[in-house]
Amino acid sequence: MGIEAALPVDGFMTTQLQRVINWARRSSLWPMPFATACCGIELMAVASSRYDLARFGMERMSFSPRQADLLIVAGRIAVKMMPVLQRIYEQMTEPKWVISMGACASTGGVFDTYAVVQGCDQYLPVDVYIPGCPPRPEQLLEGIMAIQRHIDQSGIPPMPPGGRRVPLGLVIEPTHRVRPQPVGITVGGA
Ligand code: SF4
């Protein structure tokens, strides 16, 4: 992890307690996946060997809100489902973060109907919006890293008395560029 290289020869180092706390928090985000539709497949892909979420210390997906601090909403949310999602958010541990993944979670997507919530930020404090239908796994990684950078540099914003933390409201731009297929590859041995 680079700590060994940073240690001086006599075996000790000094730092600020707040920096250690920030480092520990950003290195151990535990995601709570709330995947209701096709965006969930891209969410699953980030844990695969190709994208390897474990590189960032958060491969431990939590299916219990009490052991999670990063809610990832992936897919459309029906009106009937919203109270369940709100309860899950309320049960998560502070400090906690929310990612809205994909057009459906952020705006309702193409499902402009009375039964679908037209943006989960009407009910949850969303810190990072990830556009796309579906977003690529790289974009989700970028969104998670944006939260990590914020924790690292700014720490946890103070909680107003009796109130709620102001969400970060970051938007991730697509970073993936489609490139030509490698030449010389044939399919099915043809
Ligand atoms: S944004 Fe697109 S891929 Fe994601 S849940 Fe909606 S329809 Fe499916």
Q: What pLDDT, in 10s, does the model give residues 74-103?
A: 999 999 999 999 999 999 988 899 999 999
Q: Whose Cα sits closest to atom 8 in ligand 1?
A: 38
Nearest to 42 by CA among 146, 175, 144, 133: 133
Q: What pLDDT, in 10s, does the model give residues 30-63?
A: 999 999 999 999 999 998 888 888 888 787 888 9
Task: Label the pairing between strands 170-171 and 128-130.
Answer: parallel
pTM of the model: 0.84
**Ligand 1 contact via 61 beta carbon (within 6 Å):** no
- Residue 15, pLDDT score: 72
Q: Which domains does the chain have, with CATH numbers?
A: 30-155+164-171 (3.40.50.12280)
**Ligand 1 contact via 39 beta carbon (within 6 Å):** yes
3-state secondary structure labels for all residues of 112-156: CCCCECCCHHHCCCCCEEECCCCCCHHHHHHHHHHHHHHHHHHCC
Instruction: Tokens for 167, please give them.
Output: 């969400």
CA 139 to centroid of ligand 1, rounded, Å? 14
CA 118 to centroid of ligand 1, rounded, Å? 13
ω into 95 cis (within 30 of 0): yes
Cα angle at 144 between 140 and 150, to 5 degrees?
145
Q: Assess whether pLDDT exceeds 60 at residue 150.
A: yes
Q: Whose Cα sits closest to atom 3 in ligand 1?
A: 134
Of the given ranges (20-34, 56-70, 136-150, 172-186), which has the lowest mean pLDDT? 172-186
**Ligand 1 contact via 133 beta carbon (within 6 Å):** yes
More confident residue, 4 or 33: 33
Q: Assess whether pLDDT exceeds 60 at residue 1.
A: no
Query: Which ligand 1 atom sits nearest the alpha carbon of residue 132?
Result: 1
**Cα 127 from chain centroid (whole Å):** 9
- Residue 185, pLDDT score: 60
Q: Whose Cα sits closest to atom 6 in ligand 1?
A: 104
Confidence of residue 173 (pLDDT cuts 50, 70, 90): confident
